[in-house]
Amino acid sequence: MSASFREHIVKIMEITQTEKAADILQTSRKTIALTGAGVSTESGIPDFRSAGGLWSRYDPYEYGTIHAFKRDPEKVWQMLAELMKIADAKPNAGHRVMARLEEKGLLKGVITQNIDMLHQKAGSHNVVEFHGAVKTLTCLSCGKQYPNTFVTPENMPPRCMDCESIIKPDVVFFDEQIPNDSLFGAEELMADADVILVAGTSCQVAPASYIPQRLYEQGGRIIELNLEPALEAIASVTLAGGFSEQMEKLERQLH
Ligand SMILES: [Zn+2]
């Protein structure tokens, strides 16, 4: 087979996968999405778990647990200061396509493992933040809440104005439970959903990992969009490639 012929075949197969995904979206009863770190890398946020990511520089056991925060909040804020910079990131084209799908009624909501608020910034309304977000901070001593703009390089680590305790961003640490609101929100989205678009996550980490599996078991279909597909065994369609590129391709197939 000549190289150009092979390229041609690969192109046709790609179109077919995209067309198939578009068809599923347009004929589904209720489509939801599950997103992870891979949808934010094009916005300049490296996957925390990747080489060079946050957890390659900060030991998650020493910096990523509520236990560590309570023991030594000043130390954990060395990591958090970096984490909070995510609040300045801008959504990418893929986030914007997702928001438009919601606007068109083709997507009922997004469950995200990301804490960067990029789906909302792009215009998505129904977003369940499984792991919290860098939007607000709370004083663990008195419960007073602060907006992320309260944190500046000059007031590190930021302290509560009422009780002087060091405050904590409302993100879920490794040893913390998923907030009840998020669990209920995810349950509500999953109920009677028949299609899930899984993007930018290999679904290795519980409890978000059980979501596509459960939908599959209740007879739902999975559209996987990943740079390195991981769900081929249960996915009806696999869109292998970058988030924005694949989302834009998918949008072009809709009529
Ligand atoms: Zn306080």
Percent with pLDDT over 90 in the chain: 85
CA of 163 to the centre of ligand 1 (A): 4
Q: Count other C-beta atoms under 10 Å from residue 137's C-beta.
A: 23
**8 part of the active site:** no
Question: What CATH number is associated with residue 117?
Answer: 3.40.50.1220
Find the 64 Cα to ligand 1 centroid distance in Å: 21
Question: Which residues have their alpha-adjacent CB atom under 5 A from ion ligand 1?
Answer: 139, 141-142, 144, 160, 162-163, 165
Between CA 236 and CA 238 the distance in angstroms is 7
Domain interval for residue 61: 46-88+133-171
Q: Are 100 and 186 found together in one domain?
A: yes
Is-contact 41 47, C-beta < 8 A? yes
Q: Are residues 107 and 162 in the same domain?
A: no
Q: In whole numbers, what is the pLDDT of the chain averaged over residues?
A: 93
CA 84 to chain centre: 16
Domain co-membership, 214 together with 138: no
Whole-number Å distance, alpha carbon 74 to ligand 1 midpoint, is: 16
Residue 3 counted as domain residue: no
Question: Is residue 158 domain-shared with residue 34, that is, in the same domain?
Answer: no
pLDDT per position as a tens digit, 87-104: 999 999 999 999 999 999
137 and 120 within one domain:
no
Are 185 and 240 within one domain? yes
Closest Cα partner for 94 from 231, 236, 251?
251
Given a cut of 80, whether residue 25 has pLDDT beyond it is: yes
Residues 162 and 147 in one domain: yes
Q: How is the chain classified by DSSP, letter by letter? A: --HHHHHHHHHHHHHHHHHHHHHHHHH-S-EEEEE-GGGTGGGT---TTSTTSHHHHS-HHHHSSHHHHHH-HHHHHHHHHHHGGGGG----HHHHHHHHHHHTTS--EEEE---S-HHHHHT--SEEETTEEEEEEE-TTT--EEEGGG--GGGSSPB-TTT-PBPEEEE--TTSPPPHHHHHHHHHHHTT--EEEEES----STTTTHHHHHHHHTT-EEEEEESS---TTT-SEEEES-HHHHHHHHHHH--
Asked whether residue 236 is assigned to any structural domain, the reply reads yes
- Pair 187, 223 in one domain: yes
Under 8 Å between Cβ of 66 and 176: yes
Q: 149-186 in b/e burial notation, b at 16+ Cβ within 10 A? A: eebeeeeebbebeeeeebbbbbbbbeeeebbeebeebb
Q: How many separate domains does the chain show?
A: 2
Q: What is the pLDDT of residues 205-232, one digit of tens each?
A: 777 788 999 999 999 999 999 999 999 9
| CB contact at 8 A, 186 and 111 | yes
Ligand 1 centroid to Cα of residue 97, in Å, is: 40
Going from the Cα of 142 to the center of ligand 1, the distance in angstroms, rounded, reads 4
Q: Are residues 219 and 111 in the same domain?
A: yes
The catalytic position among 67, 95, 125, 131 is 131
Q: Kindly state whether residues 233 and 125 are assigned to the same domain.
A: yes
Q: Is residue 119 part of a domain?
A: yes
Residue 8: per-residue pLDDT? 80
Does residue 224 share a domain with residue 161? no
pLDDT tens, position by position, 226-254 = 999 999 999 999 999 999 999 999 999 99
Exposed, middle or buried, 209 (CB in 10 Å: 0-12/13-18/19+)? middle
Same-domain status, 56 and 109: no
Q: Does residue 245 belong to any structural domain of this protein?
A: yes
Tokens, residue 70: 């309570």
Q: Are 40 and 154 in contact (CB under 8 A)?
A: no
